[in-house]
Amino acid sequence: MADNKRHGEDAGDDRLDDEIVDDVADDDATGADEPVSRGGTATRSRARAESADSRPATRSETGRVGVFGRIARFFREVVAELRKVIWPTRKELLTYTAVVVTFVAVMLTIVGVLDYGFAKVVLFVFGNSD
């Protein structure tokens, strides 16, 4: 199955190569109205853009968006990112919650014992009026 598919992909690649060669040949032929430079297509593209209408660009063309447009885009992006999140199952969520609560309880106990011990040592060193 994989060999047949690979063979089909190779055949499609050959057709793409032929189309690319034809496109390159068409790009090399310049018209009389196009400026000719050292053969780069960037110069021709720039010349076409310069010769186009010099009317002011609209907001969508310049990329400027209003405040409400930016806020709406922000929320759209937040929703898109939240859809990418792999949410835990209920069992995983309960397991993770139990681990966190247990860890916090252990740390609270350690800090509480150390605090009580340091308090007793400080009272012993500096004296206790009681």
7 CA to centre of own chain: 35
Angle at 110 between CA 107 and CA 115, to 5 degrees: 125
Residue 46 CA to residue 104 CA, distance in Å, equals 63
CA-nearest of 100, 80, 101, 98 to 90 is 98
Q: Give the global pTM.
A: 0.40
pLDDT score, position 29: 52
Write out pLDDT tens, residues 55-97: 555 555 556 778 999 999 999 999 999 999 999 999 999 999 9
pLDDT tier for residue 128 given thresholds of 50, 70 and 90: confident
